[in-house]
Structure 1
Amino acid sequence: MDIEIRTVNNIKGRGVFAKKNFPSGTVIFEEDPLVCCQFSWNASYMYRTCHHCLRPLETAQENAQRLTANEELILPYPECCSTDKSAIVSCILCGVEYCSSDCMTIAFNRYHRTLCFKTKERNNLHPLEQLNEAWKQTHYPPETNTIMIIPRLLATIQQADNPDQMLQNVLQFSHRTINEDAQLVHKLLGDKFSEQLVLLYNILLQAVPHKGVEQLLTIEGFQSLLALIGTNGQGVGTSAVSQWVTRSSELPLPDAEKQQLDNFIDKLYEDMDRVSGNFLNNEGVALFSLQSSANHSCVPNSEPTYLHNNSRLSLVALKDIAAGEEITISYLDECNLFRSRHSRHKILMENYLFICQCPKCESQVNDPDVTSNEEEDDEEMSE
């Protein structure tokens, strides 16, 4: 590995550090998630993905036709579609789909043997279905997480060759107090979080086996799991259309044909935005061991991305990183990064329970503690 994880200080805890120079644009490392799961509403809205790695199961044309509500739409250069429909397989017992037999085998050996419905009928009576529906009623789009990653996480511990070691790997994600967990769960579930917490907890107890994960299936353990996915869950997005756009844009076309393609793509995105809004991707959440060790900065030197159009994460350098330098990411989206220091600190404290001391925040330490204009506008609109 060209990185190492070591203690930063008592406030930050651990961090990721470079062991060599990484030029801007370099892939620092790649990793597959410990566990990954599609968002609940995303699945309900017919975004077809691999049940294991979230790779799209639609062709680019099928994806574009659905998102534009235009069944007559034909994409040029079909050879640029990366979806291999001939490789798609499904579980013979419950029918969930995978992009390949490899993904199906990995899923079965890692968690699906425990969670398989063992029937293709869906009547909303299975506890896992009830858990999913209960979650959807508390967490409407735009989605940021799903409780359905928790059964996969528990099953992954139970099916591991060394369940005790896997349990320790999971516990390393969390080092908060019970009160801190409660504060994070309150943020995740909303004002009625106490009622929702008990409801979701009781359904989860019926949905998964208990052996080997008893300490996580107390009410405190469940609350800790919710806080864990709330703070460490990394969003995953895949798209058959975006892959087609990337590949077709790289074709060595004559200037006139290139311009025609660019116009087509611009119109395609306009139509998709008009019909489907911002909900263009297959979306889900994942837990990554290495990426979760990276600390936040409001001037990050790297960012997580998905170069393989599945759940495999690539951490890419945003600027030159020197050997020995800490590798940081942003826990905030791009819009929030441009808000005032006060606003950034408010968001980070509410969602991650820390005060940022990055170079940008330190340089703005004398700025007035006022909310940014964007946030003020949002608050006015909500009144």
Structure 2
Amino acid sequence: MAAPNALNVEAKFIDSSKGRGLFSKQDIKEGETILDETPLVSTQFLWNELYKYQACEYCLRSLEKAEAMARRLANNPALTLPFPECCEVKTEEIVVCPQCQMLYCSEECRKASWDRHHQVLCLGSSSQDSDHPLARLQEIWRNIHYPPETASIMLICKMIAMVKQTSNPGSMVHSFNQFVKSTVNEEQQIAHKLLGQEFKDQLELLRSTTAAILFDDSIQQWFTPEGFQSLFALIGTNGQGIGTSSISVWVKNCDDLSLPEDKRKELDDFIDKMYEELENEAGMFLNCEGAGLYQLTSSCNHSCEPNASITFPYNNHISSLVALKDIHPEEEIFISYISECQRGRSRHSRQKILRENYIFNCHCKKCNDEADQPDVTSEEDMESDEEADEMDNI
């Protein structure tokens, strides 16, 4: 597994309002990888897993052959992908937990999971038992937090399990304490955003159920109502979405093929049509999706004109921070917390999205340059806001 390359970056405290930021220690050219980072912990989203997106329990690598995944998502069992050699999934290397049959892409990942958290969380022979306490907790979460998921109770469970399994609980707790923390009021707003109108009752149900399964004296503060809310806010604030897909890897490898012009056009047309089928049937849910906690990347502050972006080029949970512009020594590295489409909207709409989802007002250069714009939303932005609100209420 790749480790953070911290030689060219440094996380530094800025001030009480911004907290930390990530700064370059050297010249970085546009297009260069600034940092590859393995998360401290990651997990697949529970709805994603329920709908048979097969991913490695530890690293979230997509485990379906590209053709099988495309057939499932397009609901077309006759779909056949050309150039099957461009699919990198090696089904012969997939292993399972001998107790609960959890899937892993390799023996390395199975062992890493067992050594870090799976001993505590393994369901054993009860893996198909919906009455198992951990299975009930997962069902509670699914009934509270519908797709599109933006966090998971399993991140908290894995955090607790990591503390329970380690020989040095204090050091592990310290690692999690390095992530950005929110005020009590912000924590409530984050919980409300993730859980909806009944967030207090739902948060208490999650807390009491988690405590009944995983309580540990060494971290009893995590199981109090205040402590659990803080954990929930931590994953809501710092959780980085992860997406993997054997289809996208197949497409990338197809793009690298040396083909005659007519064959290239034929392949490109096939891929365009395939994606149209996938999107018509599966909509936006094309990837194995999850979330992770990244110690260095989580230090990146937001800008509506970012100079870096996060990608997942290895088809697993290792993230790459890539420069979008030339970055100079002592310059802060910014990513965007909102999509490219959202960044093209008015300042008013961008601020609204950031306040609702991340509990802050943006003062980046773009927002400051547009400070004189009226705080009104264009007709197009209003329609987009209404659509977003409808999605939040699904």
Q: TM-score, normalised by structure 2?
A: 0.94
Query: Which residue does the alignment assign to 2:150?
Result: 144
User: Which deviations, in whole Å up to 9, do the C-alpha atoms of 1:34-91 show, x marking residues without a partner?
Assistant: 1101111111110000011110111111111111112222211111101011110000
Aligned counterparts, 1:311-322, within 5 A: 311-322=317-328
Deviation at 1:292?
A: 0.5
Query: Which residue does the alignment assign to 1:309?
Result: 315
Amino acid in the other structure paired with 1:338:
G
Distance 1:230 1:262 in 2: 39
Query: Which residue does the alignment assign to 2:110?
Result: 104
Does structure 2 conserve the Cα–Cα contact (< 8 Å) formed by 1:236 and 1:311? yes
Amino acid in the other structure paired with 2:218:
G
Distance 1:153 1:136 in 2: 19
Query: Which residue does the alignment assign to 2:371?
Result: 365
Amino acid in the other structure paired with 1:249:
D
| Alignment RMSD | 1.5
Does structure 1 conserve the Cα–Cα contact (< 8 Å) formed by 2:182 and 2:233? no
The more displaced of 194-203 and 236-245 is 194-203
Query: Which residue does the alignment assign to 2:4?
Result: none
The more displaced of 39-48 and 5-14 is 5-14
Query: Which residue does the alignment assign to 1:323?
Result: 329
Distance 2:211 2:132 in 1: 12
The more displaced of 53-62 and 67-76 is 67-76
User: Which deviations, in whole Å up to 9, do the C-alpha atoms of 1:246-286 show, x marking residues without a partner?
Assistant: 00111011111111111111111111111111111000011
Distance 2:358 2:378 in 1: 20
Paired residues, number = 383
Query: Which residue does the alignment assign to 1:260?
Result: 266
Distance 2:345 2:232 in 1: 28
Query: Which residue does the alignment assign to 1:293?
Result: 299
Amino acid in the other structure paired with 2:10:
E
Aligned to 1:353, which of 330, 355, 359? 359
Amino acid in the other structure paired with 1:80:
C
Aligned to 1:38, which of 44, 48, 51? 44
Distance 1:268 1:113 in 2: 41
Does structure 2 conserve the Cα–Cα contact (< 8 Å) formed by 1:234 and 1:286? yes
The 3-state SS of whatever aligns with 1:5 is strand
Distance 1:197 1:228 in 2: 14
Distance 1:360 1:378 in 2: 21
Deviation at 1:7?
A: 2.0
Deviation at 1:163?
A: 1.2
Deviation at 1:378?
A: 4.1
Query: Which residue does the alignment assign to 2:184?
Result: 178
Distance 2:207 2:186 in 1: 18
Does structure 2 conserve the Cα–Cα contact (< 8 Å) formed by 1:174 and 1:224? no
1:199 corresponds to 2:205: yes
Aligned counterparts, 1:1-383, within 5 A: 1-378=7-384
The 3-state SS of whatever aligns with 1:137 is helix
Please list every run of 5 or more consecutive structure 2 residues that lacks an aligned counterpart in the other structure.
1-6
Amino acid in the other structure paired with 2:8:
D
Does structure 2 conserve the Cα–Cα contact (< 8 Å) formed by 1:158 and 1:211? no
Distance 2:176 2:164 in 1: 12
Amino acid in the other structure paired with 1:64:
A
Do the aligned partners of residues 233 and 170 (structure 1) sit closer, same or farther apart at CA in structure 2, a change above 3 Å counting? Answer: same
Does structure 1 conserve the Cα–Cα contact (< 8 Å) formed by 2:215 and 2:223? no
The 3-state SS of whatever aligns with 2:10 is strand
User: Which deviations, in whole Å up to 9, do the C-alpha atoms of 1:140-190 show, x marking residues without a partner?
Assistant: 112222111110011112223421011011122243222221121111111
The 3-state SS of whatever aligns with 1:309 is coil
The 3-state SS of whatever aligns with 1:14 is strand
The 3-state SS of whatever aligns with 1:357 is coil
Distance 1:138 1:312 in 2: 28
Distance 1:360 1:46 in 2: 41
Distance 2:280 2:197 in 1: 33
Please list every run of 5 or more consecutive structure 1 residues that lacks an aligned counterpart in the other structure.
none
Do the aligned partners of residues 210 and 373 (structure 1) sit closer, same or farther apart at CA in structure 2, a change above 3 Å counting? Answer: farther
The 3-state SS of whatever aligns with 1:151 is helix
